[in-house]
Structure 1
Amino acid sequence: MTTGAPTPTAPRRSRARTLVPLGIAAWLVLEIWLLTLVAEAAGGFAVLGLLVGAGVLGAMVIKRAGRRAFTNLTETLQQQPGAAVPTGSSGKGNGLLMLGGLLLMLPGLISDALGLLLLLPPVRSRLGRYTERSLERRMRAASSGPLGNAFQQARIHRPDGKVVQGEVIRDDAPRSDRDTGGPRPPLTP
């Protein structure tokens, strides 16, 4: 027995929410299939040696990139205000190096190949530039959207840095609420 009220429909599922789990499942099946092919050709101990060696190499890469990132952070924090920021390339690419190390640590041959590609400096620099450009485009598109003005207004400050103390009185509140007759609290703590 139904009434005249419309039934609520579930929001439509985005394409990414549908395709990402399918892609991960396909990647896992492909990794397992490749591992079995290599195990048949070279033997199980060879596959185990490959996986352990890649894991150790990935851990070393992550440790090195993390140490380098921490060193860059401490150098930046210890600089005097107004000092020139060094423009060396020592701070760039730590995130992609860590991603490469993580991919090496994951068991599988495809992830190992992608991790080894990220260890190559030309690949890392091109991927970093591509990622930076795409993020800038998305940020520009987001700032021109309906919330773009809100982001701009949130950053507006008075040029002289003065703060004007005051209080807000709402005109839509009933008159009896505004005028309680008692003293008002001070504006500054």
Structure 2
Amino acid sequence: MRVLAVVLVGLAVEVTALVAAFGAWGLLPTLGLLVLGGVVGSVLLRREGVRAMAAFSEAVRTRRAPHQELADGVLIAAAGVLIVLPGFVSDVVGLFLLFPPTRRLVSGRMARRAAERERSVVLNLRYGQHPAAGGAVVDGVVVEGDVVDVRPESVERRELP
């Protein structure tokens, strides 16, 4: 649901920017800027994609985990999609993701969020709470994949430290 909201807001922002550009500059300059953004973005996309592949190959060759290289590849692919979509805002965001310093900021944030999420899941599993079960721990007897004996008094909730 959150993704749909982001897509709808992004679409509204793109349409608003295109209408404003058309009103300010006219049809041909607006189309020219869209094409220019696509061409510049494609050139940068190709250059950064080649760099990312070379860095990934080097990491694999030296037997180092290519975490940063994979994150760069994902962000470059996302930038490519954003640049291909017509619109000024998506082109700016795509170009933002193509430049290595800004890409490092985004990938660093992604890594921190993934580490926080991993820590949360590990703590939940360590203390017998599974996120899908709502944190309930149920003792029972399982025979051939079916739960045949569940004791309601054994259901307990534990708080995480």
Tell whether the structures are fold-level matches, with TM greater than 0.5.
yes
Given candidates 99, 107, 113, the residue that maps to 2:78 is 99
- 132-141 vs 50-59, which moves further: 50-59
Equivalent residues in 2 for 1:101-140 (5 A)?
101-140=80-119
Distance 1:27 1:92, change over 3 A: closer
Is the strand fraction higher in 1 or 2?
2
Do the aligned residues in 2 keep the contact of 1:56 with 1:105 (CA within 8 Å)?
Answer: no
Q: In the aligned structure 2, how far is the partner of 1:77 from the partner of 1:127?
A: 23
Equivalent residues in 2 for 1:1-189 (5 A)?
17=1, 19-79=2-62, 85=64, 93-146=72-125
Deviation at 1:51, TM superposition (A): 1.4
TM-score, scaled to structure 2: 0.62
Query: Cα RMSD (Å) of the superposition?
Result: 3.3
What secondary structure, in the 3-state scheme, does the structure 1 residue paired with 2:12 have? helix
Cross-structure match for 1:161: none
Q: Give the letter for the 1:141 counterpart.
A: S
Count matched residues.
Answer: 129
Deviation at 1:106, TM superposition (A): 1.6
Q: Give the letter for the 1:93 counterpart.
A: D
Q: In the aligned structure 2, how far is the partner of 1:35 from the partner of 1:61?
A: 23
Do the aligned residues in 1 keep the contact of 2:78 with 2:94 (CA within 8 Å)?
Answer: yes
- Structure (1 or 2) with the larger CA radius of gyration: 1
Q: In the aligned structure 1, how far is the partner of 2:103 from the partner of 2:58?
A: 23
What secondary structure, in the 3-state scheme, does the structure 1 residue paired with 2:39 have? helix
Gaps of 5+ in 1: 1-16, 150-171, 174-189
Deviation at 1:39, TM superposition (A): 0.9
Q: In the aligned structure 1, how far is the partner of 2:11 from the partner of 2:65?
A: 43
Deviation at 1:93, TM superposition (A): 3.4
Q: In the aligned structure 1, how far is the partner of 2:26 from the partner of 2:52?
A: 39
Stretches of 4+ aligned residues off by more than 4 angstroms: 89-92
Deviation at 1:131, TM superposition (A): 1.3
Is the helix fraction higher in 1 or 2?
2
Gaps of 5+ in 2: 129-142, 145-161
Distance 1:75 1:105, change over 3 A: same
Residues 2-44 of structure 1 deviation map (CA, whole Å, 9 limit, x = unaligned): xxxxxxxxxxxxxxx2x43233223212211221111121111
Do the aligned residues in 1 keep the contact of 2:38 with 2:91 (CA within 8 Å)?
Answer: no
